[in-house]
Structure 1
Amino acid sequence: MRLNGKTALVTGGVRGIGRAIVLDLAKAGANIVTCTRQGGEPATTLEKELREIGGEHHVATADVTRPQDIDALVGECERRWGRLDIVVNNAGAISHVPFAELTAHEWHKVVDTGLTATAMVIQRALPLLGEGSSVINIGSKVATVGLPLRVHYTAAKAGLIGLTRSLAKELGGRGIRVNLVAPGPVETEAGVPDDVRERYRRMIAIGRMGRPEEIATVVTFLAGEQAAFINGETINVDGGI
């Protein structure tokens, strides 16, 4: 799967699944602008890895819930390349709160990051997207099964399914594809308690949690020409949970 010369914007690309996506796209030949809300060591080490891979890349500091930060992020892509071929909306937020105690502030923090910002990034990037472009939203398996204590997170991820389907129909005539990747439980650098890992192991048909790289390869596939007739789809990457 080669993406030589393609340009990509990946939100939330410094840690976990987002970082794996950035690195996989870069290895496939894409030039990338990505972002994090905070700099620090993860951003620094990502920049180093990207330099070793080669290509034109930039790690920005941006909060995608702020319209001015979205403008700056997409503006950076426009300044560098004048176009975008790939947009990956990975930025998200999560917290664990009983519904009876869920505040409006906490609701908006999670929904605005995971759903509203995705719509706003796509809208702002639209003038840079042309025939053959691919938009990939990162959802979650929980969108269709639900989880206690995560009503706001589940609602945001479920909203991404509708957003993806509607935009696929609205933008398909312009040659812009919009798809969603829905990961199941994935091991990241944050680590997973042994009891949780064991519970997931029993729930997942393949007998283990996923790895960020296994999500990233699906994103890279959807970004390329091999997926040219896939549009409006939700692809579950969950090991058969």
Structure 2
Amino acid sequence: MDAALAGKRLLVTGGTRGVGRATVLAAAGAGARVVTCYHHDEAAAAALAARLGPGHRVVKADLTRPEDAARLAAECRTELGGLDALVNNAGVDGHGRLEELDDGEWSRVLGLDLTAVFVLTQACLHLLGPGSAIVNVAASAALRGVPGRSHYTAAKAGVLGLTRSLCKELGPRRVRVNAVAPGVLESDGDPLPPPVAERVARMTALGRLGRPEEVAAAVLYLAGDLAGYLTGATLTVDGGI
């Protein structure tokens, strides 16, 4: 993938699976230096680090803890000397009808999917110079709503609002801020039951689920110089659902 990323320095959160892993591998393959983080899957982290090789870092961090966000930013300063792009990808899914949701479940999803984006972006702001980029991974579900997932879609809609506001706030510093809104993707870690996958595929214009690599391509386009005049935008990568 040639996204004008050679020599760029990236921080990609949630890099050991799905869109995050695809983004990390594609960025490294394009000549970027990457720091990424994971929460608990030590085996996946070790496998990713072995595949990346030297010049990259895989760091354990709980992004709901401000001290971990600060430590991750410090790792980027030490290892990379700064950042050309921050990709806020880490997140959790959530299900439950409104009458079933409790404070703990609401806080769990909002904490990682929205609050952690704010906390880490704030912690990394001093590392982002003129011409750098922030890419926030939201969800196309936030644009249309999904019954039984109000906390998840609320968090992802919040990411889109944060993106729009930060593009205006950081524009004078020549820091671009954009979002990617993926649809339903194929997953080897926790695949959808076949009847559900088939139903969702029928709902898309392209008649299939997406692949993490296809979302990663959009993320890296926004992170690189090819998108140098694009800010405040949301690229919806959902197959026309």
TM-score, reference length from structure 1 = 0.96
Q: Secondary structure at the match of 1:14?
A: coil
Query: Equivalents in 2 of 1:32, 1:160: separation in Å?
Result: 23
Residue 231 of structure 1 aligns with an amino acid whose one-letter code is T
Query: Equivalents in 2 of 1:170, 1:126: separation in Å?
Result: 12
Residue 64 of structure 1 aligns with an amino acid whose one-letter code is L
Query: Equivalents in 1 of 2:113, 2:61: separation in Å?
Result: 14
Q: Secondary structure at the match of 2:168?
A: helix
- Deviation string, structure 1 residues 193-229 (Cα, Å, up to 9, x no partner): 1101110121000010000000001111111111001
The corresponding residue for 2:165 is 166
Query: Equivalents in 1 of 2:48, 2:186: separation in Å?
Result: 19
Q: Secondary structure at the match of 1:35?
A: strand
* Structure 2 unmatched runs, 5+: none
Query: Equivalents in 2 of 1:224, 1:154: separation in Å?
Result: 28
Q: CA deviation at 1:237?
A: 0.4
- Deviation string, structure 1 residues 156-191 (Cα, Å, up to 9, x no partner): 000011100000001011110000000011001122
- Deviation string, structure 1 residues 128-156 (Cα, Å, up to 9, x no partner): 10011010000000101111111110000
Q: Secondary structure at the match of 2:90?
A: coil
**What stretches of structure 1 move > 3 A for 4+ residues in a row?**
none
The corresponding residue for 1:236 is 236
The corresponding residue for 2:38 is 36
Is 2:155 aligned against 1:135?
Answer: no
Is 2:129 aligned against 1:101?
Answer: no
- Structure 1 contact 39–61 (Cα < 8 Å) conserved: no
Query: Equivalents in 2 of 1:225, 1:171: separation in Å?
Result: 17
Query: Equivalents in 1 of 2:230, 2:65: separation in Å?
Result: 31
Residue 105 of structure 2 aligns with an amino acid whose one-letter code is E
Please, what is the CA RMSD of the aligned residues?
A: 0.9
**% identical equivalent positions:** 50
The corresponding residue for 2:224 is 224
Q: Secondary structure at the match of 2:48?
A: helix
Is 2:28 aligned against 1:26?
Answer: yes
- Structure 2 contact 4–226 (Cα < 8 Å) conserved: no
- Structure 2 contact 33–80 (Cα < 8 Å) conserved: no
Query: Equivalents in 1 of 2:42, 2:143: separation in Å?
Result: 35
TM-score, reference length from structure 2 = 0.96
Q: Spell out the pairing of 1:1-241 with structure 2 (5 A cutoff).
A: 1-51=3-53, 56-189=55-188, 190-241=190-241
Query: Equivalents in 2 of 1:81, 1:48: separation in Å?
Result: 19
Query: Equivalents in 1 of 2:210, 2:81: separation in Å?
Result: 36
Query: Equivalents in 2 of 1:126, 1:208: separation in Å?
Result: 38
Q: CA deviation at 1:35?
A: 0.6
- Deviation string, structure 1 residues 43-69 (Cα, Å, up to 9, x no partner): 111112112xxx511111101000010
Query: Equivalents in 2 of 1:39, 1:98: separation in Å?
Result: 29
